[in-house]
Amino acid sequence: MSETTEELRRDEDYSNQYDASKDDALKEFYECASKMTLSVEHLVPFDAEGEEVYYLDPRLASAIDQLKTISSWFIYTIELEGKYRRYEENFIYDFQEEAMDFLHANLGYYEDKKK
């Protein structure tokens, strides 16, 4: 097999594994997001929503900022079986849209799109 063909096969294998792992990565992201917001959900009044939620309490602002940060660069690690050994592969996903949906559903936070 030529070097170019081997590189294409490796790239395709990586792409297939990346796509196959996305659902598991999203599930792990939601679990992480739930843990991050669980301790601050009680700080949000029932009638508060939108960007005002961010300014209600510094702990809310911190949780929102942390979640927005990890959502843009979420690293999901899987263990793969190679020909001669086991190894770990890191995949980086962008879950910013999912994070905003999560924040809106759980904390009532959303950003105005008019900016």
Q: Where are the domains of the chain?
A: 3-107
The whole-model pTM stands at 0.80
Confidence of residue 3 (pLDDT cuts 50, 70, 90): low
* Tokens 């905003």, located at residue: 100
Read off the tokens for 110.
């959303």
- pLDDT tens figures, 17-44: 888 899 999 999 999 999 999 999 999 9
What's the rounded Cα separation, in Å, for the pair 25 and 19?
10
Would the pLDDT of 1 be above 80?
A: no
Whether the predicted pLDDT of 9 surpasses 80: no
Pair type for strands 74-81 and 86-93:
antiparallel
How much is the mean pLDDT over the chain?
A: 87
Long-range contacts from 15-21, C-beta under 8 angstroms, 24+ separation: 17/78, 17/80, 17/89, 17/91, 18/91, 21/76, 21/78, 21/91
pLDDT over threshold 70, residue 88: yes
